[in-house]
Amino acid sequence: SAKEKGKNTYCFYSLQMDEILQKRFEFEQSLKKAVENEEFVLYYQPIINLNNMKIAGAEALIRWIHPEKGFIPPLEFIPIAEQTGLISQIGKWVVKRALFDLGHFMQTLNGNFYVSVNVSLREFSSASFVESILSSIDNFKVEPSSLGIEITESVAMVDPQNTIDILNSLKKNRIKILLDDFGTGYSSLNYLKQLPIDVVKIDRSFIQNMTDDQKEQKIAKSLIDLSHILELKVVAEGIENEKQAELLKSFMCDFGQGYLFGKPMPKEEFLELAKKF
């Protein structure tokens, strides 16, 4: 009967739910363990000055090396870390490791070099965020201007006035500020011009289809022009081929990042690549 069928359906979904919840619980437990055992590594991807083709900096990108499952990309665990609160410990680890590595990079690379780290919503809105960054900079004795903080346009928009306050205190301490995934967060021009940022990173989605689409080219160019009007430097993300790089250069884009110049890679490999630029 329909009633029985309904009952079975209910049982079926309920079992499936159990399974999903169980998987989720196990994932959270293993992420907790990962934090305790420091199962993370930072990879570095070069950011290239398109005017002289030299390395200007690097973005630090986290990877989780799970003892059994191997490599887990950030988009699979950062959101869970954010929901469970584990992100605050992970974020602190990222900053410390990046500053530690920066010390090594500085021995080899020129003084203007910087490393930028990604910061998610919960980290950024935590009361101790700025203080914690400043104390790490102090401990590692690096130039504050050689650390960059990347926040996405959508994180910046959650609490606009608070964002301005936090960014101002970072800026006052000479930390570099990059607006990540620019163009995807619907922030108003009025708001953008109030943000004390140094660099905007144009989202990969605007670069991807640029080569054979005039409209896409015009959009990319106007995002670059707009950033320059606001007196900001521009990084184009996700450059994968020469044609994109050439177009972006002709649009006066300042910096580029993408597989064309190098994928995110371990520290030692990054240093080898950086020496060649």
Residue 98's identity, in one-letter code, is A
Supply the minimum distance, in Å, between the C-beta of residue 8 and ligand C2E: 41
Quick check: 123 binds Mg ion (CB under 5 A)? no
- Binding residues among 124-153 for Mg ion as defined by CB under 5 A: 150
State the binding partner of 88 from ligand C2E, Mg ion, none, CB within 5 to 8 A by kind.
none
Query: Which residue, 101 or 180, is less far from Mg ion as judged by CB?
Result: 180
User: How many positions of this chain bind ligand C2E (CB under 6 A)?
Assistant: 23
* Helix 242-250, helix 214-229: angle, nearest 10: 50
Contact residue for Mg ion among 181, 192, 224, 257 (CB under 5 A)? 181
Nearest to 255, CA basis, from 44, 52, 117: 52
Neighbours of 175 (CB within 10 A): 22
State the greatest distance between any 2 C-alpha atoms of the chain, in Å, as a whole number.
77
Neighbours of 66 (CB within 10 A): 14
- Binding residues among 122-181 for ligand C2E as defined by CB under 6 A: 150, 180-181
Q: Where are the alpha helices (DSSP H) in the chain?
A: 2-37, 74-84, 87-108, 121-124, 129-140, 153-158, 160-172, 189-192, 204-208, 214-229, 242-250, 267-276
Supply the minimum distance, in Å, between the C-beta of residue 100 and ligand C2E: 14
Task: Check: CB of residue 166 under 8 Å from CB of residue 130.
Answer: yes
Supply the minimum distance, in Å, between the C-beta of residue 203 and Mg ion: 6
Distance CA 82, CA 120 (A): 8
Q: Choose the binding region for ligand C2E from 5-13, 117-125, 222-230, 267-275 (rule: CB under 6 A).
A: 117-125
Quick check: 47 binds ligand C2E (CB under 6 A)? no
Quick check: 264 binds ligand C2E (CB under 6 A)? yes
Task: Check: CB of residue 173 under 8 Å from CB of residue 148.
Answer: no
Quick check: 180 binds Mg ion (CB under 5 A)? yes
Q: Choose the binding region for Mg ion from 77-85, 117-125, 162-170, 268-276 (rule: CB under 5 A).
A: 117-125
Supply the minimum distance, in Å, between the C-beta of residue 118 and ligand C2E: 4
Task: Return the bridge partners of 251, or none.
Answer: none
> The dihedral of CA 62, 68, 69, 75: what is its sign?
negative
Query: Closest residue to ligand C2E, Cβ-based?
Result: 258
Site track for ligand C2E across 243-262, x = CB under 6 A? --------------xxx---
- The 10 Å CB-count burial string (b at 16+, else e) for 137-156 is beebebebebbbbbbbbebb
Quick check: 101 binds ligand C2E (CB under 6 A)? no
Where along the sequence are the contacts to ligand C2E (CB under 6 A)?
Answer: 45, 61-62, 73-75, 78, 94, 117-120, 150, 180-181, 204, 238-240, 257-259, 264
